[in-house]
């Protein structure tokens, strides 16, 4: 608790909650989901790290947003990696690569007993990442276990 002396006026703090990506809808060529991907979802981040360039028409707020997101990534040999909390660089995957990795990991030794969250964690431990990984893994496992070949 903080004691506020008399005569001091404070403004209430308004917190806006959003379930979209930070810059989705603000910057034209970024943040596509894995199903809608035409331009790589991380294009703006990669472009900023390589050239220190912002998208055309981006305002100061969007510049700051890209800079803040770029802190979480590293560009090495033309490949973009996400920094993780345990100092492992996670390789960013494209749509096709992500689907292939999900299929291969899920069909592995513990695949049929693995839920979507565990699949996502296992893929992270393998050193891969994409922006909608958890959602895609949960959807993939649901779809996979609903098919007739998995019904025992």
CA atoms of 37 and 10, how far apart (whole Å) = 45
Q: What angle do CA 37, 43, 65 make, to 5 degrees?
A: 110
Is there a contact between 79 and 91 (Cβ–Cβ < 8 Å)? yes
How much is the pTM?
0.63
Largest CA distance in the chain: 71
pLDDT at 35 over 50: no
pLDDT in tens, 12-25: 656 565 555 544 44
What order of strands is seen across the sheet that includes strand 89-92? 73-76, 79-83, 89-92, 128-129
pLDDT at 31 over 70: no
pLDDT in tens, 95-122: 889 999 998 888 876 666 788 999 999 9
Which range scores top for mean pLDDT: 2-6, 9-13, 70-74, 105-109? 70-74
In angstroms, what is the C-alpha Rg of the chain? 20
């Amino acid at each position: 608790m903080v004691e506020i002396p008399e005569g001091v006026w404070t403004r209430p703090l308004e917190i806006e909650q959003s379930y979209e990506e930070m810059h989705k809808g603000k910057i034209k060529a970024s943040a596509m989901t894995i199903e809608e991907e035409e331009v790589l979802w991380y294009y703006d981040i990669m472009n900023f790290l390589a050239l220190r360039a912002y998208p055309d028409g981006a305002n100061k707020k969007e510049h700051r947003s890209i800079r803040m997101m770029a802190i979480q990534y590293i560009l090495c040999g033309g490949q973009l990696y996400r920094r993780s909390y345990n100092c492992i660089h996670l390789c960013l995957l494209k749509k096709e690569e992500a689907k292939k990795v999900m299929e291969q990991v899920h069909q592995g030794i513990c695949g049929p007993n693995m839920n979507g969250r565990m699949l996502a964690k296992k893929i992270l431990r393998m050193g891969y990442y994409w922006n909608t990984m958890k959602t895609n893994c949960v959807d993939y496992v649901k779809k996979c276990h609903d098919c007739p070949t998995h019904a025992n």
